[in-house]
Amino acid sequence: MGRRPVNLGDGLDFVGSRAQGVLVTRRADGRPQLSNILYHSSGGARGGDPDPVVRISVTDTRAKTRNLRREPSASLYVPGESFWSYVVLDATAELSPVAAAADDSTVEELVELYRSIRGADHPDWSEYREAMVTERRLVVRLRPTHAYGVTQR
């Protein structure tokens, strides 16, 4: 099995076939902040979306959220099946407003994100919607600009 470097389209396809990764943001002192995350990706060479985006649910009080408000760029590391297979997406980050009401646009996007990641409905949407407001959740939208890594052929 050969290895090959990736371009942005290949990287988006690779990331789109998975849902777990490590988000890398930059702390105020310049050091990296790494966070294990679940995500959903749309777009890519096969996705047909001309504006690919990776979406992540975060809380307002987390270090990654503060970091992205200060510097709206991030990298997403996504591992493959072997240690030597991975893709990193460099991206510009956009943050939604913090969820303020169970029926606001942020909560609607969080519901859509939950369904996309889990592939199923939540057992109690009312409870979920209230939790999104109570936890002060928001959506990070990563708009990939560059990809690198190595995948298996």
5-9, 21-25, 89-93, 102-106: the lowest-pLDDT one: 5-9
Mean pLDDT along residues 136-147:
97
Mean pLDDT of the chain: 92
Which among 29, 47, 37 has a CA at the least distance from the CA of 93?
37
Domain ranges of the chain: 3-152
* Other C-beta atoms lying within 10 Å of the C-beta of residue 4: 11
Radius of gyration of the chain (CA): 16
CA nearest neighbour of 23 among 68, 60, 59, 70: 68
Output 6 or 71, whichever has higher pLDDT: 71
Q: Is the pLDDT of residue 9 over 80?
A: yes
Token pair, residue 63, equals 């270090």
* Residue 49 pLDDT level (bands cut at 50, 70, 90): low
What pLDDT shows up at residue 1?
47
Q: For residues 24 and 11, what is the distance between their CA atoms, to the nearest angstrom?
A: 17
Is residue 31 scored above 60 in pLDDT? Answer: yes
What pLDDT, in 10s, does the model give residues 117-126?
A: 998 999 999 9
Query: pTM of the prediction?
Result: 0.91
Residue 151 contacts by C-beta under 8 Å, 6 or more apart in sequence?
3, 4, 6, 10, 14, 80, 85, 86, 87
Q: What is the pLDDT averaged over residues 50-60? A: 93
Residue 46 pLDDT > 70: no
CATH number of 3-152: 2.30.110.10
